[in-house]
Amino acid sequence: KIWTTDDGARVDEINGRGGGRNLKGRGVEKFEITSCMTQEFDGVSNPPPDHPVEKLFGDEQLEYELGGCRFKVSHGAFFQVNSGCAEVLYKKIVDEVKEGTKEGQRTVMFDVCCGTGSIGIVAAKMGAASKVVGCDISRPAIRDANVNKDLNGIGERCVFEAGRAEHIMARQVKASLDAASAAGDDEGTRFVAVVDPAREGCHGDVLKSLRNTRAIERVVYVSCNPTVSLPRDAKVLCGPKSKRVYGEPFVVKKAQPVDMFPMTKHTEVVMVFERGGEGEEEKVEEKKGRKSGNR
């Protein structure tokens, strides 16, 4: 892993077999281990995000800078380690959140799978979002996000909650619309969702909530698995209506790869969806109508 700090790039290749011996001669001998954590788990898979971790010594959090913001990150929390490409990625996301905003319009951004809050905080700091609502199932990550929003002086514009995204989005959309209506500004608020899931992609309930929440006009999907989970999730966002998926379908407007993993076959993709596309059912009916008319 490459950690970028105020002191420069530090390379950590310590593993169970090498014990750090392969670091000799690489210019990192003078660096000291700043913290050491241990976690006991007897399961057959990875421990859950909130599984307890014991600090043996040192700092409990690492600190990073990204997009002009500072972030404190706890053990086990996700953070982009390729900081140079992450700057490019976050600028692209922020630009897509901004796009389509009318003069004087207020943008509420949902940061789904927000982790430590980095995307939402950068978007708020750069003026792309008037309000950020972040949600994640990891309580330790949400604790970091709430620390980070205050660390960057935008605590009043960001709300980070641990829980199911579909429930949090529904509640926050209603609250924002009620507030706008009370202020006589029904047309002055737009809703954009930024979704940055793990490789498995979005939970089906989150996708259905995005589709069925009519106030959400735009979805910026950030995928590290563009060949499997992204196309699967896109089918839910763009597919035909059904009893469970009844919102107007989205359409894909653009896609941009970002080389977050140099010298590998993997890439990150930012795909932008906008509301108002035709579902497959409508297209089929239209084709049937044209064929009938030709007879």
> Positive or negative CA dihedral for 77, 80, 82, 87?
negative
pLDDT digits (tens, 9 = 90+) for 163-205: 998 899 888 888 887 776 666 666 678 999 999 999 999 999 9
233 annotated as belonging to a binding site for a ligand: no
Domain boundaries, the chain: 2-66, 77-283
Q: Which of 91, 94, 137, 85 is nearest to 112 (CA)?
A: 137
Query: Helix, strand or coil for residue 14?
Result: coil
- CB 224, CB 264: distance < 8 Å: no
pLDDT digits (tens, 9 = 90+) for 204-246: 999 999 999 989 999 999 999 999 999 999 999 999 999 999 9
136 annotated as belonging to a binding site for a ligand: yes
pLDDT the model gives residue 280: 46
Cite the active site residues: 224
Eight-class DSSP state of 249: P
> Positive or negative CA dihedral for 115, 116, 121, 123?
negative
Q: Which of 202, 213, 277 is nearest to 239 (CA)?
A: 277
SS3 content of the chain, % helix, strand, coil (to 5): 30, 25, 40
In Å, what is the CA distance from 104 to each residue of 111, 127, 194, 217, 253?
Answer: 22, 13, 21, 17, 24
pLDDT by residue for the chain (295 residues), tens only, comes to 444 444 444 444 443 444 444 455 555 566 677 778 888 889 888 888 778 888 888 888 888 899 999 999 887 778 887 888 999 999 999 999 999 998 888 999 999 999 999 999 999 999 999 999 999 988 889 999 999 999 999 999 999 999 998 899 888 888 887 776 666 666 678 999 999 999 999 999 999 999 999 899 999 999 999 999 999 999 999 999 999 999 999 999 999 999 999 999 999 999 999 998 554 444 444 445 555 555 4
Domain 77-283, CATH 3.30.365.10 — does that match? Answer: no
235, 196, 277, 192: CA torsion to nearest 10: 160
In Å, what is the CA distance from 135 to each residue of 37, 48, 58, 196, 222?
Answer: 26, 17, 29, 11, 15
In angstroms, rounded to a whole number, what is the distance separating the alpha carbons of residues 233 and 250?
12
In angstroms, rounded to a whole number, what is the distance separating the alpha carbons of residues 21 and 200?
35
